[in-house]
Structure 1
Amino acid sequence: MAQVESARAANPVNRRATILALAAVLCWSTVASAFKLSLQYLTPLQLVSIASAVSALFMLGVIAWQRRLGELTKSWQSSRWWFIALGFCNPFLYYLVLFHAYELLPAQQAQPLNYTWGVVLALLSVPLLKQKLRSRDLLAGLVCYTGVLVIATKGNLLALQFDQPMGVALALLSTLIWSCYWLLNTRIGGNAAVNLFLTFCCGLPWLAAALYWQSLSGDGWQWPPIQGWIGAIYVGLFEMGIAFLLWQAAMLTCENTARISNFIYLSPPLSLLLIALLVGEQIHIATIAGLGLILLGVAIQQGVLRRWLPGRAT
């Protein structure tokens, strides 16, 4: 009887964690469409610059609301060089490379390719963090990158012909940059909103320098139309800000992290659905097959399949 009462008492916590996690997944599911639609009105550099400024302002508001403004100076003094390195990786380099990939590729190709970053992170952890290379990491990499080839060649694996090899290369490069960002991020403790604000503040000077260099080449800043501003603000708020905080809150609230983490597998299929509905792209069978392989590879790497096997503890 006591166990039943305990389970009932825990249910509101589990429901809250589930709602927060699903809200984060829904936010992430919309961003591929938002990227593609926004790039109709903005250059990749404009999009990342505006979105980064919006995200930094949003995080500052969150920090003020949490009454953590006093932590900014302390965090900066203890980890300033890490923040400078992180700011170069993200938002400057990562989003610039990613948005160029979205500019060259259909959203249905760029989004699944970028999703392989989890496997890249596991593989990079071996030389950089001296972690042991597991057989499931190698198997996950093989399965994932088979999916990448299926998507990049539109299912014509024997011919190995890529419509946009530069776009594919940039999408895969973005996974390497994002993985390096998270490996660097492990060196810093403290509040997530504080760290993200300082990181984006360190990224903004790099973006300003890129905008200035672009103006010297004769391609100066051109005021975007209102559609571009709306898209950039949306990306800054939801991709770079709100979704991150919702996911963090879900992970802190939940009683079983593994079950909440599995919700992330809903994001790519939902994203493809929104790409078809909002962007108007016809989703290819090869994209669905390749995405299935990428999700399978990520599941293998995270040990999800082992947790789902009969007789295993969950």
Structure 2
Amino acid sequence: MKDQKTAMLYGLGTVLLWSTVATAFKLALADLAPVQMLLVACASSVLVMAVILLLQKRWYLVFSLRKKQYAQSFGMGLINPCLYYFFLFGAFDRLPAQEAQPLNYTWALVLAYLSVPFLGQRLRKLDIIAGLVCYAGVVVIATRGAVTTMSFSDPLGVSLAIGSTLVWASYWIIATRDTRDPVVGLFLNFLFGLPVIALICWWTEGLALPVTGSLVAAVYVGVFEMGIAFVLWSYAMKKAENTSRVSNLIFISPFLSLVFIYFILGEQILPSTYIGLVLIMMGLWLQQKKVKEREQELADG
């Protein structure tokens, strides 16, 4: 049954969890290499999603798919978690959290652009304006305000952050044709991706992990960012009478995240971060506005 109040509570819970992950990423990367962190987080996520499926009495769905869908799980697992989190954690390893986190939020705009060639959607003027505003914010953050010199603080880190948005948006475009149960699908993606991550970790960094707070932070990322947050957001969307109101909650997350980054990580938040983040959120709001208009047109038609 639809219940907007419950949907908003699920949505707020998700946003709160998303707001903490940039801080958790940096804490985990203090003693772990990105691939080691990914191994711990992915393994934790697989376990928590298995428990969720058992509690929901939907475990049988894991074994009821067609062979083609298991092959699909492996292919999508190579994209997410493998490739996406390699890029994302690599970006957080090189950039301050206040820079890497806002850059990652531009994935929604990338998704709109990639939907034009791959899903046959039309590119409107508002998409172009949203893109210009959004990426103006990216430049402000990436150059730490030195926009006239175009001197990037860490070109590779910025490239990894932008690359993660391309991978994530591509993943969701592929997922539009995914008929599997969402939680089952994510569980299998991570399950099939885990051995690949373990092999790469063993080959590059080794499997000996330091037993420190970084290990706890990596487990936190796997349990909450990769696992529970996804399930809560799914519930929020299912319960919502008005999905736009729930979706708008995501605009709280990056600003709340700066609070955790400042007080827990001790990063001095630069003025350029605030300016760039406001521009990125404005661009995303414009893009969201276009989506709402399209939904209204369909409803009226």
2:176 to 183, 186, 200: 186
Tell me what 2:185 maps to: 195
Cα shift at 1:306: 7.5
Say whether 1:223 aligns with 2:209.
yes
Q: Separation in 1 of the partners of 2:231 and 2:27? A: 24
**Match among 228, 243, 259 for residue 273 of structure 1:** 259
Following superposition, the deviation at residue 82 of structure 1 comes to 2.0
Aligned AA for 2:166? Answer: L
Alignment pair present for 1:253 and 2:243: no
Match of 2:296 in 1: none
Using the alignment, how far apart are the partners of 1:306 and 1:185 within structure 2? Answer: 21
Q: 1:305 to 1:293 in 2, by over 3 A?
A: farther
1:167 corresponds to 2:164: no
Cα deviation per residue 1:6-65 (whole Å; 9 max; x = unaligned)? xxxx8xx32211111101000000000000111002110011111101101111111111
Decide whether the 8 Å contact of 1:51 with 1:237 is kept in 2.
Answer: yes
Residues 256-286 of structure 1: CA deviation (Å, up to 9, x unaligned): 1111111110000000111001100000110
Q: Distance in 1 between matches of 2:292 and 2:139?
A: 26
Are the equivalent residues in 1 in contact too, given 2:36–2:209 (CA < 8 A)?
Answer: no
Residue aligning to 1:16:
6
Contact 1:144 1:294 in 2 (8 A): yes
Runs of 4+ in 1 over 3 A off after TM superposition: 304-307
CA distance, structure 2, for counterparts of residue 257 and residue 149 of structure 1:
31
CA distance in 1, matches of 2:180, 2:74: 16
The answer to whether the 8 Å contact 1:27/1:243 transfers is yes
Distance change >3 Å, CA 108–CA 132, structure 1 → 2: same
| Equivalent position amino acid for 1:104 in 2 | R
> Who is 2:221 aligned against?
235
Structure 2 match to 1:29: 19
Query: What is the TM-score when the length of structure 1 is the normalising length?
Result: 0.90
1:172-220 Cα shifts (integer Å, max 9, x gaps) = 0000011111111111123211111101011112202212321xxxx43
Give 1:147's aligned residue.
137
Distance 2:201 2:65 in 1: 28
Does structure 1 retain, via aligned residues, the 8 Å contact 2:32–2:209?
Answer: no
SS state of the match for residue 65, structure 2?
helix
- 1:82/1:184 contact within 8 Å kept: no
1:1-314 aligned at under 5 Å gives the runs: 13-75=3-65, 77-214=67-204, 219-303=205-289
| Residues 76 and 42 (structure 1), Cα distance of their counterparts in 2 relative to 1, 3 Å cut | farther
Q: Is the Cα–Cα contact under 8 Å of residues 76 and 198 in structure 1 kept in the other structure?
A: no
In the alignment, the residues of structure 2 paired with residue 306 and residue 128 of structure 1 have an alpha-carbon distance, to the nearest angstrom, of: 21
Is the Cα contact below 8 Å between 1:41 and 1:225 reproduced in 2? no
Identify the residue that residue 3 of structure 1 maps to in structure 2.
none
Q: TM (normalized to structure 2)?
A: 0.93
Q: Distance in 2 between matches of 1:34 and 1:49?
A: 15
Q: State the distance in 2 between where 1:52 and 1:267 align.
A: 23
Structure 1 contact 299–305 (Cα < 8 Å) conserved: no
Consecutive unaligned residues of structure 2, counting only runs of 5 or more, are 294-298
Q: Work out the CA distance in 2 between the residues paired with 1:269 and 1:191.
A: 32
Superposed displacement of residue 305, structure 1:
10
**Letter of the 1:197 counterpart:** F
Q: Report the structure number with the largest CA radius of gyration.
A: 1
Q: How many angstroms apart in 1 are the aligned matches of 2:33 and 2:201?
A: 11
Contact 2:134 2:279 in 1 (8 A): yes
Measure the CA separation in 2 of the matches of 1:136 and 1:78.
39
Identity level (%)? 47
What is the one-letter code of the residue matched to 1:262? Answer: N
Contact 1:16 1:250 in 2 (8 A): yes
CA–CA distance in 2 between the matches of 1:40 and 1:287?
A: 22
Residue correspondences, number: 294
For the aligned residues, what is the CA RMSD?
1.8
